[in-house]
Chain A
Amino acid sequence: MSKLTKLFKEKPNRLCSVYFTSGYPQLNDTVTVIKGLEAAGVDFLEVGLPYSDPMADGPTIQESSSIALKNGINLDVIFNQLETIKEDVNIPLIAMGYFNQVVRYGAERFCEKCQLVGIETLVLPDMPMIEYETTYKALFAKYGLSNVFLITPQTSEERIKKIDDMTDAFIYVVASSSITGAKGSISTAQIDYFNRIKSYNLKSTLIAGFGISSRETFDTVCEHVNGAIIGSAFVKHVGVNGVDEIDAFVKAII
């Protein structure tokens, strides 16, 4: 059983995940950030793989990615950083990047490295479902990797149910029609959307992301789904404060 599956069994509610940009604000902050977030009580982490053209991300994550790339981050450096803390980190790690990074690195080599450093789950927002079904599902399975699909307010019921069938990690519920980035509050339209998804009685764990930035938004979202991912708000926080006040940031939300 994967760490993530075990976690979802033990803690079905108020799951808190944080996305961070590897190699940001400083190249070697990856390790400090992971340890800091685990110590602060975050349930699982999204390890951001910085990309030059992150089309699903907003300005905060794009800028942090550009800086991380300038700092010298790349997939090999990230895998090395993760390998050094493999024994110390117990919470599940998810890698989030773009499809081209995987294709260019070599999909099999990428999967092999993920398995080696303890990554069990992938989020590749621009990988088409058809490619997953025809090519990558088997490859990912070979290396014990599960794949996360995103759904949005525009995703049809039929497609959501198909995604539910294919999912062995969780469904990433994009909380609004938007790129990543803090919005401030959760609207009634978003709550209607959460309730609509719930009415489908899906088997998968539902984790919301995009626009979760405060205790208020976290609490509201957790009334409707199993947990939430905080991304841009955290990236912004370490951009301003560095990596020393991670505990305070997390405790102010969960």
Chain B
Amino acid sequence: MSEFQVDKNGYYGQFGGAYIPELLYPNVKELEDNYLDIINSDAFQKEYLYLLKQYVGRPTPLYYAPNLSTKYGAHIYLKREDLNHTGAHKVNNTIGQILIAKHLGKKRIIAETGAGQHGVATATVCALMNLECIVFMGEVDIKRQAPNVARMKMLGAKVVPATSGSKTLKDATNEAIRDWIQHPEETYYLIGSVVGPHPYPDMVARLQAIISEEIKWQLKEQTGKENPDTIIACVGGGSNAAGAFYHYMDDKDVDLVAVEAAGLGVNSGESAATSQLGQVGVIHGSKTILMQDEYGQIVEPYSISAGLDYPGVGPLHAHLFQSKRGTFLNATDQEALDAAFELTKLEGIIPALETSHALAVLGKMKLDKDQVVVINLSGRGDKDLETYITELDKREARGNE
């Protein structure tokens, strides 16, 4: 068995497990006992793949980016997850989990969201399946991601503000867990990333694995080889990275590059670069690397990107980091903004702010002219337009000086 797959106790190396109050034990156990059977069943696979094709629009293109390639002197391919229905990779997971929830007979769906992408993707599948949907979102994020809040409401979801702590993703997750504790029987908690107690990290990784499954045959079609030299993906909780890495984890000739949000700078005190700033601990039910003080109090992270603004990282990524299988880089707010403007100008693609962090490391890497690089273009930038407009105004003001 692969050393990067979850073991039978729910661990990746020393990371993972299920650190949950007894109140959640029956729910998590029910999921643990059933998820593999459901996912591996013919009925599930048929419906999942049908919806991914006809509803989501998969396979997403693997686009050779000629101008970006020229600029950085390498063969750069973009895995266009931004072209998925709802605008990001998140829907791969929500389609899968909503089918699992239906198999388990759950009627009420709850979710947490940071940037609102997972919230929208959850509200979308709930509308599709006619299920009640409640999305918890930090009060700060509700303000900075207004279009996604409107989308969720239009899709019929109830958006509940999380007003504790930093009022961002971590707090939205706490609120979702509390709601789950209070409604244990009828509720399904649809987690949006490879975080949370086992089996969530493994389940979400399996549902996102379609990304690397497609990269393999698409790259073979275009270059004759399944394996690129490098795959780059941004990491908050880490679901798009888990999906892009999944089928390559054991192929050690493929360099897996995870990019975290450095905020105003790794050591500025305003950052979300968990692998650089964190230590081993427990957050949201799993043992991983997280940002905390000497007493285990969770430190409030910061990033311009609501989707990367998380003080932990999925246990799979903690394992990739610790085992050195993954290369962990980071990009600041400004580097991400610059990368977003660059991609837009060079290739005519406006990326999400999260994704822009992955693009931002191209300039920091030593690239070779024959090197084949795949960047997981996890989401599109529509939701970040307000931030981009502010940046545009700044650039125009500078231009006029």
Contacts and interface: CB of A to CB of B under 8 A. Distances in A.
Given A55-B174, A126-B285, A177 B292 contact: no
Given A56-B23, A150-B23, A155-B25, A99 B185 contact: no
Instruction: Give the interface size bracket for B toward A.
Output: 35 or more
Contacts, number: 107
Contacts of A155: 22, 25-26
A152 B181 CA distance: 10
Contacts of B185: 154, 177
Contacts of B22: 125, 149-152, 155, 174
Contacts of B178: 55, 58, 179
B184 interface: yes
Interface residues of A, number: 40
Interface string B56-85: 000000000000000000000000000000
Interface stretch (B13-21, B124-132, B355-363, B376-384): B13-21
Given A55-B178, A100-B282, A103-B282, A177 B165 contact: no
Given A154-B185, A179-B182, A100 B23 contact: no
Contact of B19 (A105, A127, A149): A127
Interface stretch (B114-122, B215-223, B238-246, B294-302): B294-302
B280 to A, nearest CB: 7
A69 B297 contact: yes
A52 B166 CA distance: 10
B19 A128 contact: yes
A179 B181 contact: yes
Interface in B1-59: 9, 17-23, 25-27
Contact of A52 (B25, B183, B297): B297
Interface of B: 9, 17-23, 25-27, 164-165, 170, 174, 177-178, 181-185, 279-285, 292, 294-298
Interface of A: 51-53, 55-56, 58-59, 62-63, 66, 69, 74-76, 98-105, 125-128, 130-131, 149-152, 154-156, 159, 174, 177-179
